[in-house]
Amino acid sequence: MAKSEKSKKFVKFLVSPTGAFNLAYSAGEVAEIDEDQAKEVVGAAYAQYTNSKGEPLDGGESVAAAKDAAAELKAVTTKAKGFGIEVPKDATSDEINKLIDDSHTNALAEVKTLTAQLAEVTKGAAPEAGK
């Protein structure tokens, strides 16, 4: 299929896709975009499918779900950044939560290692302290 013949879909942006998808739209704007790109922005909760007038195709049920998903993504991204975790711009909430879990697992393993090393050092230093 030629590039100009790609299927297009109407979407209404719930949040600005500029930073995440390099698309120059604002929240509330309706746009006709390539179907693949529409799947991506809708899947990431940045937009919902609409008709050409911006009316939801599903009666609005996806708006609440998309807003909830966008709020969760924002919250988990903020949480990860608070732990000093670098979050990829296209990461999902599940992927970010895994990054947080992995970071905590690694930190716990490091604490256990340091605790064991400290125990060894203090164990060797105890007889010397009694001299």
Residue 2: is its pLDDT beyond 70?
A: no
pLDDT in tens, 47-97: 888 988 888 876 656 666 667 777 888 888 888 888 899 999 888 888 998
What percent of the chain shows pLDDT beyond 70?
84
The range of the structural domain enclosing residue 62 comes to 3-129
Number of domains in the chain: 1
pLDDT band at 128 (very low <50, low <70, confident <90, very high): low
- d(Cα 73, Cα 93) in Å, to the nearest integer? 5
| Distance separating the N- and C-terminal Cα atoms of the chain | 85
